[in-house]
Amino acid sequence: MNYVPVMGLEIHAELLTKSKIFCSCANAFGGGRNERVCPVCAGMPGTLPVLNREAVRLAVKAGLALGCHINRYSAFDRKNYFYPDLPKAYQITQFEYPLCSDGAVPAGDKTIRVSRIHMEEDAGKLTHDAKRGISYVDFNRCGVPLIEIVTAPDFRSVQEVQDFVSEAALRLKYAGVCDARLEQGSLRVDVNISLMPSGAAVFGTRAEIKNLNSLKSIGRAIAFEINRQTELLEAGMPVRQETRRFDERMGETVLMRSKEELQDYRYFPEPDIPPVMISRAEVDAIRRELPKMPLERVLEYTTRHGLTEEDARLIVQDRAFSDFYEEMVRVFPAYKIAANLMLGELNRNLNFSGKTISEVRFTPAMLARLCELSKTGRVSKNAAKEILAQMFETGEDPFAIAQDGGFLMREDIDAVRRCVENVLKRHTSLVADYKNGNRKIFGFLMGQVMREAGKGVNPQVAKEELTRQLEQ
């Protein structure tokens, strides 16, 4: 039997607030164990949570970035479960009334539906010391503000899942709500996956694979799970609804627990936090803060700027890089030259120096001037490379560097004219051949002109002059 995989995602993203979601402890990464903990996030009885306004604002922004509807009314609920890294023995989350719903994100060849995005608090972290038989608990992460993005079961292949995760991560980064680093856990992906016979209308029973921390692991875990479920179904055994984790080393998913039933959580409305009411005006104000999203930029770069899709996609991979490009072409609209310079020499220099685009010593306008020098033929391609390298070092203006370094081409048209005349006089028979149709001779003559003219002559100018005199 041929089976089709069906997948839906639940993605947790840490919000970039200064403080935690219900207390004033710092929301940060690293440091010593239990350094950022207070009675509220440690779940002491009798403490009261206060909702972080900035967390709500960022969650709204995330919702807008993922094409969601922002609900004017949303509310928090308690999800009861005991686990040693969750000291209250319940998690404050949103169940019945999520902040955002009904989103849509174009990714790859599809548009993926986002069912909902809700806010919740993160739990702490357990470390197990198997040798000594001890576990440690670190509450630093307790109360870190999260959004959970839940998609519809719209994925049918690994590629589609990876495309969406990349696109969603990029949008969250553009919006400035999350740094979206899978490897560091600021973005964590759970994949729900089931199989159905191809052509079937009803989905099969799903397993959920928790906390995948790279695109590669997502691919490996799904591949393993497709095999596992196929074998079960072929053997006439049921796929059970359960939660599994991916063992990186073995390349296998392993059972964590059979899936809790909804009733196990005993959700009920959180009595200590009032519902969240957001006005249209507030939503509109947040919408205005959003930058142009990557997909929109790709469309603009390919249609209006004439870049290739590949180059456009490379540029938008980083918002600061894309912003730099946009500022550059606003100053001097030589799109292809700007893109080539940035993706080629600029990237090479960035990699070499270990810097990011935000750390370079020159402005987009300065790089635009280099584009202009290059486009108008005032400096050669090689000179442009050298000038850029010096801009990296000194932060100086490209024109000044070109002037001081003798990179500027001579525009002395009289000198070029004389060179061409001399060359044509020396090679009268070749000129006759050329005029009789042997066009290959042009290259040779051009070489002679450049030799005669010496360094610093603009080849474009020389070429035009040679053509002009030959056609006379």
Footprint on this chain of ligand ADP (rule: CB under 6 A)? 6-10, 150-153, 192-194, 203, 206
25 is in the binding site of which of ligand ADP, Zn ion, none (Cβ under 5 to 8 A by kind)?
Zn ion
449 is in the binding site of which of Zn ion, ligand ADP, none (Cβ under 5 to 8 A by kind)?
none
d(CA 194, CA 7): 7
Q: How far is the CB of 166 from ligand ADP (least distance, A)?
A: 17
Nearer to ligand ADP, 98 or 294 (CB): 98
d(CA 45, CA 24): 17
- 408 touches Zn ion by CB under 5 A: no
Which tokens belong to 401? Answer: 């560097």
Backbone angles phi, psi at 251, to 5 degrees: 70, 30
Nearer to ligand ADP, 112 or 366 (CB): 112
107 is in the binding site of which of Zn ion, ligand ADP, none (Cβ under 5 to 8 A by kind)?
none
Residue with nearest beta carbon to ligand ADP: 8
List, in order, residues 6 or more apart from 373 with CB less than 8 Å away: 379, 384, 387, 398, 399, 402
Beta-strand (E) ranges in 87-152?
Answer: 90-93, 100-107, 110-121, 125-129, 134-138, 145-151
Nearer to Zn ion, 56 or 461 (CB): 56
- 25 touches Zn ion by CB under 5 A: yes
Nearer to ligand ADP, 237 or 432 (CB): 237
- For residue 428, the one-letter residue type is T
Decide if 254 contacts 218 (C-beta within 8 A): no
Sign of the alpha-carbon dihedral angle for 344, 346, 347, 353? positive
- 23 touches Zn ion by CB under 5 A: yes
Q: What angle do CA 62, 67, 69 make, to 5 degrees?
A: 85
Nearer to ligand ADP, 153 or 456 (CB): 153
Nearer to ligand ADP, 203 or 352 (CB): 203
Binding region for Zn ion (CB under 5 A) out of 32-40, 132-140, 188-196, 340-348: 32-40
d(CA 245, CA 256): 6
Which tokens belong to 414? Answer: 């009289």
- 26 touches Zn ion by CB under 5 A: no
Which tokens belong to 74? Answer: 């949303």
Number of residues assigned to the chain: 472
Q: How far is the CB of 121 from ligand ADP (least distance, A)?
A: 18
Nearer to Zn ion, 37 or 150 (CB): 37
d(CA 400, CA 406): 10
203 is in the binding site of which of ligand ADP, Zn ion, none (Cβ under 5 to 8 A by kind)?
ligand ADP
Site for Zn ion in 36-65 (CB under 5 A): 38, 40-41
- For residue 225, the one-letter residue type is E
Helices 309-316 and 294-303 meet at what angle, rounded to 10?
150
Nearer to Zn ion, 23 or 180 (CB): 23
Which tokens belong to 203? Answer: 């989905």
Binding region for Zn ion (CB under 5 A) out of 33-41, 102-110, 297-305, 387-395: 33-41
Report CA Rg, the chain: 31
209 is in the binding site of which of Zn ion, ligand ADP, none (Cβ under 5 to 8 A by kind)?
none
Q: How far is the CB of 229 from ligand ADP (least distance, A)?
A: 10
Q: How far is the CB of 336 from Zn ion (least distance, A)?
A: 52
User: Which residues are at the interface with Zn ion (CB under 5 A)?
Assistant: 23, 25, 38, 40-41
